[in-house]
Amino acid sequence: MAIEFWAMGRPSAGGPNSQEFNGVQQAVRAEQIGYDGIVYVDSQNRYGDSYIALALAAHATTTIKLGTGVTNSFTRHPAVTASAIATVQAESGGRAYLGIGRGDSALAHLGRAPDSVPKFEDYLKRLQAYLRGEDVPFEAGGDISSIGLADYRDSSLIFWIDSARPPKVPVDVAATGPKVIAAAARHADRVTLNVGADAKRIQWGMDVARAARAEAGLPPDIPFGAYVPLVVHDDPQEAARIGTFQVSLFARFSAMYGSVVGPASQEQRAVMHSIHGAYDMQHHGLAGAPQDEVVTPDFAREFGIFGPPTHCADRLAELIDLGIDKFIIRGVSLDPADPDSNAAQRFTQEVAPLLRN
């Protein structure tokens, strides 16, 4: 089983005179230091456009895989999403990957909660059909007949996708709750669990997915990935300090609506409830937010992975033994000017080699 390690980036917008370490530079850096892939956040009110960043990165890199981490089922029609990522697939020579979820900050900044699970599952069905180059029935309530055309199709098709040379773009669902995990298991090409690095929670998510596939009459096997807050540092306390804001960001999904999903101890539940109650979307993904203050040291150690290379490798090896073969690492900036960025390179040079075989 080949293990992949992906970095996370932000598609910051800025021309050649910008002082910001932009999305293209992040992809180049990730490729240089040995990551297998990079995903860009898709949150239109906070960052630049992820698909433009991916297309630009495709021409600035040669081997690294490129994906969204994650897009959502609300802000773009499935035909638009399919066409955008298929364009990246063609421009990158088959290195594109579509990570998708129900939406978080992208929707919150529009005054909306995440898309409902039934709508999300329907979106996945239509998205996959578009990416396979198939006809997709028009959605109910369309009014094309009102404009008096002489003729028109009775279904939707992205005409150019089936003639594109690269293979179909894989669809990878970021999932936390059991209903989304089950929907992903039925319709995605991969399920990437966003439940932290606790092996019990990872095993629970995998069990939910396999049960859903069995109930749907599908083969039990489906690839699994995991989003993991991780910082390599010889001092575990310093590593946790650097990465605490990633813990609060990811752990919030396990108590999105106020009740905890998945197995959790009494203390873990208490911390997740506190994160939910303290969460400030204006500081989403930023260090020093109010939600960081409620994360206890024990919770951070269990939900994330923080410490020396051998400790990080041992924790990841436990998840690999369960069947995880792709990790999306959210830890530190790829920007060499960031004082903590050395941890990103230490991961690929000192942790990843211990796990590849």
Residue ranges and CATH numbers for the domains of the chain are: 4-138+155-237+306-355 (3.20.20.30)
The rounded Cα 275 to chain-centroid distance in angstroms is: 20
pLDDT given at position 16: 66
Pairing of strands 190-193, 224-232: parallel
Helix, strand, or coil (residue 9)? strand
Residue carrying structure tokens 């009494």: 266
The dihedrals phi and psi of 191, each to the nearest 5 degrees, come to -115, 120
Provide the CA 48 distance to its chain's centre, in angstroms.
Answer: 17
Q: 7-16, 229-238, 293-302: which has the minimum mean pLDDT? A: 7-16
Comparing 16-25, 153-162, 339-348, the range with the smallest average pLDDT is 16-25
- In the DSSP assignment, the letter for residue 102 is S
Q: Give the pLDDT confidence score for residue 167 in this predicted structure.
A: 92
Q: For the segment 60-81, what is each residue's pLDDT rounded down to a tens digit?
A: 999 999 999 999 999 999 999 9
Using one digit for the tens of pLDDT, what is the confidence trace for 296-315? Answer: 999 999 999 999 999 999 99
**SS3 call for 89:** helix
- The amino acid at residue 352 is A
Kindly report, residue by residue over 238-297, the tens digit of the pLDDT. 999 999 989 999 999 999 999 999 999 999 999 999 999 999 999 887 888 889 999 999
